[in-house]
Structure 1
Amino acid sequence: MEHHWKELIAVDRYTVQSRGVLHDVDRKVLTMLYQPLIGHRALALYMTLWGELELLGGREATHHRLMALMQCGLPDIYSERLKLEGIGLLNTYVRALETEELKQFLYELRPPLAPDQFFRDEMLGVFLYRQVGRHLFAQLNEFFARPAVDETKFTRVTRSFSDVFSSVQAEQIVAGFSEEAGHELEPPDGRVHIGRDGASYTLDDDVFDFELFFAGLSKQIVPRRAVTAKVKEAIKKLAFLYGIPPLDMQKIVLGVIDPAYHIDIDALRQAAREWYELEHGSAAPRLVERVQPLAHRTMEGVEPRTKEEQLMKQLETISPRQLLKEISGGAEPSLSDLQLVEDIMFQQQLLPGVVNVLIYYVMLRTNMKLSKKYVEKIASHWARKKVRTVKEAMELAKEEAKTYQNWANEKEKGTRTVRKVVRTEIVPDWLKMDYSQPDDDDFDVEQARKELEQRLKKYRDGS
């Protein structure tokens, strides 16, 4: 390039950055698909700049460095750079330095197309075929392909975000997430996050009632065109995260839309956080305060006919915290007990009513104590079994009685060298089984059951 000196001289400086994370598979694509189109010298320049990206870490260097690394002249570097720019692998930016008659270049590496994108491209695929011929093109085509699967023979069972995380309440996700903490999501001053297309997730449309949302909005104040696909997706995610009803979301949107009918997503995000803090205060309610969801109650609207059904109904309508409080005779539960229950609700994603059965069951098996390892082991088993209702939990407790007793005995073996005489006790009707109480021979299970029933009766009667 005879006029390269008008554009670039050896003492001009440069820095290298990447538009996205470069992966090892990109090396194969560059070598096998792009090199036949741009030549080995242009590929060498790209790979050298890739190395500089990692080695310099954003620091400046002069083009003397590139000349020494590639063992070629500046005209070659300039001409090969143009090839990279033309095929979309490099963006070049330049600015004049104020203190010197020099330039500073910014070389931004762009990741190559994925193989499927390359072969689908209207020009690149044909260009490659022309360069390498039919035989080699067929080999490359096969190398970057995978066995085809007839997806019509399968049923898609991929879960959406809301399916998997529906039992994790919004307040658990955003607990302690203040406005100040929100700024932590932004990169440090003068820096930007690395980007590249990656895994995405979806929320089902039914997590937010857009029909009700739009019904209360005037088209003159908020035109439908203002709620773009991106804004709609943001509304859906924020509503799910913070538990914002459609009518409240209307007010939030009205507060952030500008005179040009543009809805800024960052402003929408900030307004949603402010709404949550105003509604719930600084201390978010905890999972232990929740009760069994209506959709997972089997005794809702049903009059109990047996003691078992009466207990089921109570465990469906009381929170784990309140149950612990009633078991303690009205005293506030210990922080360690609350934390244990909170942890299993969050980590194992057990519903409140199921956790109530677990608390009731373990209390009667371990001398009115919540043994952490024992509770966690049963909770993990119930989570794997996908127990969702109080009835399912009680039935599983009956079926697995011997297994759970063995777990309790294993725990006891680790803490004692001499075992006490195992004694059979009377148990709650809904368990219908015998079990031992190695922790305390003086512990009367039947008496404990009666006390529990009495305390819960006081709670039910409001006395």
Structure 2
Amino acid sequence: MAQHWQEILPIDRYIVAADGLLHEYDRKVLTFLYQPLIGSTCLSLYMTLWAELEENRLWSESSTHHLLMNLLGLNLKEIYEARLKLEGIGLLKTYVKTDEGDRSFIYEIIPPLTPEQFFLDGMLNIFLYRKIGKNHFARLKRFFSEQQKPLEKEYQNVTRAFQEVFASATPGSLQYLQGISEDTEPEENQHFIGRKESKPIQIELTTFDFDLLLAGLNESLVPKKSLTQKVKEVISNLAFLYNIDPIQMKNIVLSAVNESSEIDIEELRKGARDWYQYVNQDQLPSLIERTQPVALQVQKSEPKSQEEQLIRYFETTSPLRVMKDLSGGGEPSKSDLQIIEEVMFKQKLLPGVINVLIQFVMLKTDMKLTKGYVEKIASHWARKQVKTVKQAMELAKNEHRTYIGWTENQKTGKASKQKTIRKELIPEWFADGSEEGKAEAQTNKSEDDEAKKRAIEEKLKAFRK
């Protein structure tokens, strides 16, 4: 990640903490269920941090990141990127403290979900299924399952109850119970060592327009009280996973209402999955098929200018569709799709912002999706907390010169001895009134480059229609 040194340095110290005891069985869960989603580097970082904890303890000794770099054989950038992935998938929490210029971290490793939680998660299991395929997914499900034994039919339960084995305390023994409540509590600033249940990934509720959903629901059919906190959390996750807007979600919610006027969560999940597979020919979702959340769409009114039309297009179109449109309807390569999906996962950029990034990068690099260049700009936008299409377009305009320098730095090989007059291709929304932008957009160009420009403009016209 670009300028990762602003976030972390080799001399920065860290301590590893654990949010509850980790068990040997967790290694299998991490290796077979999490590793396909986060990669071997992230798993290696997690295992190394775990190994720094002494057996049955929750805190480690202090170390420097330089030691961690030597242990893993990775540079600081790779460690930082792996850390972000672990944070995003819910396996790590990071805390930082700055004291007189010295920076120290606490890395709190979170136990993974249990196999049952993972396979019933509703989001991670879908991504795993899409990643490894039906056959391998079924094999893993069998690996983490066990056949139930017919105990009730073949055996009789003869287990004694507590009261059948133990007697109640006699009046004379009650004197020992005085003040016992204080004696049983842990000392100040301490807590008992144990295992806490891991929490599944939860998409923020603010990303979904619940007001619009409630407006579409009939109060007599779906009372407001049926939209409990748990139901809202599931709706928010499903909307993110399957890219469902509030209008379509209304129909799915109605189909999940039971005879008690309550929303059946399992029926809600099944309805969302069935709807998505019906619309997408039995395919399951991937990150690049999502569109900008409704709550973060800025172009609500009817577009009046060409720029507003483009904003609307970026907000209502998935990155996969944008890439297809840029290639005249052709399927993007697997490597291009992987670049975009990794950026969305690692940098947590929203689909509309990714669309601006795709168009910008492709026009700057002669319709090539260069991984290093994409990641560098994406990390910059992530640090700037770019959430909307409008913000992304404005930042691209303001930092245009900086990004030009990045492309120049990435060029390798000897420069051509013959000088050519070259025009740099930029999106049309760049020349929006700035004299510098207009002049740059109209620079003279050689005959070959003019042909390239016309071809690209034709593609842009095609995907705007």
**TM band (smaller chain):** 0.3 to 0.5
Per chain length, whose mean CA-contact separation is higher, i.e. which structure has more relative contact order (CA < 8 Å, sep 6+)?
2
Q: TM-score, normalised by structure 2?
A: 0.46
- For the pair shown, the structure with the greater C-alpha radius of gyration is 1
